[in-house]
Amino acid sequence: MSLVVVGSVAYDGIETPHGKRERILGGACTYIALSASYFTRTGIVAVVGDDFAEEDRKWLIEKGIDLAGLEKAPGKTFFWSGVYSDDMNDRTTLRTDLNVFADFDPKLPSEYKLRPYLFLGNIQPELQRRVQQQMNGVRFVGGDTMNYWINGTRDELLAAIRHWDFLLINDSEARMLSGEQNLRRAAKAILDMGPNTLVIKRGEHGAMLFRNDTLFMVPGYLLEDVFDPTGAGDCFAGGFVGYLAERGFDLRNGHFDVHELHRAVIYGSVMGSFCCERFGAERFRDLTRQEIDQRFEEFRKFTAF
C-alpha cells in the first residue's frame, strides 16, 4: 500500500570523529523515503532549489521513490551543516540556510490524494494540517515534530496532531510537549491529545510504543561503529510507517493485530541502526532487504528470554 511523505530535502555538511562530508543529500523527507522505500511505494512532497543535482534525483528514482510531488523552486536547496562531539552524543549546528524551504508550501499531486498512508515530517504544524486535509481516505496518518514547534506554535501543533493516528518524537520532545518528566505520564498526557499511538525514540537507548491497549519497548541495536547518526530518527520513521504500509495495517477497520505495531518499531530500529553505519544516507546505496530482515531476526534473538 503506498505512502506519502512530506518534509525537507536538503544538502548537509557533516563532520563526525570518523570524517567529513562537505555536501551530501540529506533532509528528513529524504531519509524517511529512502528507508520506507524498502517496504512500500513511497511518494514525496518537498521542495528543492535549482542546484538540486540530477544524480540525486536519479538515485531517488532508482530506489522507486515517486517524485511527482518534488517541486523545484528558483533559488538554492535547504542547506544544513553540523559537527558531532567525540562520543557522538552532542552535535553543534554550524549553518542552517533554509533557502527555498523557507517558503515551502506543500502541494499534493492529485495522484497522491487517495494514498492510504501519510507521514508528515517535521515542518510547520499548520502546513502538516493542511496537507492532511487534502488527503482522501487515509488509513493511517502521523508524523514528527520538534522543540521549535512545541514551544513556538503549540496551538497549531495541537490542532494538527489531534487528527493523527500516531506521533513519533524523541524523549525530550515528549517531556516538553506533555510537561511531564516521567515518560509513562508523558505518554498518557500525549495520548489524550489525539494520537492513539505514540512512539518515543531514545536514540542509542531504543524506542517505546504507547497505546491504551499496549506498551512495547525495544533496546537500541548495539553497533560496533556509529559512523554518523544524522538521519537515524528519520530512518526509524521510514521503517516504522513503511512496514505498516507494506502490511496494509489498517487501524480504522478495528481488526488489526497490535503486534504489527511492535514489529514496526523493530523495523524502525533496524533502519535507524543501518543509517548510522555510514555518512548521511550512504548506507542505502547498497543495503538490501535481506540484510534488513536478518537484522530484524537478530533483534528477536537478542531480546528473547
Site residues for a second copy per CB under 8 A: 86-87, 181-185, 202, 205-206, 208, 214-219, 222-226, 259, 262-263, 265-266, 300, 302-305
Give me the least distance between CB of 218 and a second copy, in Å please.
7
Which uninterrupted H or E stretch holds 4?
A: strand 3-6
Q: Which is nearer to a second copy, 71 or 260 (CB)?
A: 260
Q: Which is nearer to a second copy, 97 or 298 (CB)?
A: 298
Alpha carbons 209 and 211: distance in angstroms, whole number: 7
Give me the least distance between CB of 262 and a second copy, in Å please.
4
Q: Which is nearer to a second copy, 41 or 263 (CB)?
A: 263
Q: Which is nearer to a second copy, 51 or 297 (CB)?
A: 297
Q: Is 80 exposed, middle or buried (0-12, 13-18, 19+ CB in 10 A)?
A: buried
What is the SS3 assignment for 150?
helix
Which uninterrupted H or E stretch holds 156?
A: helix 154-161
What is the SS3 assignment for 40?
coil
Give me the least distance between CB of 244 and a second copy, in Å please.
13
* CA dist list (Å): 105 to 134, 135, 173, 287: 13, 15, 25, 33
Using H for helix, E for strand and C for coil, what is the string for 248-292?
CCCHHHCCCCHHHHHHHHHHHHHHHHHHCCCCCCHHHHCCCHHHH
Give me the least distance between CB of 289 and a second copy, in Å please.
18
CA nearest to 216, candidates 257, 245, 179: 257
Give me the least distance between CB of 18 and a second copy, in Å please.
12
Q: Which is nearer to a second copy, 110 or 222 (CB)?
A: 222
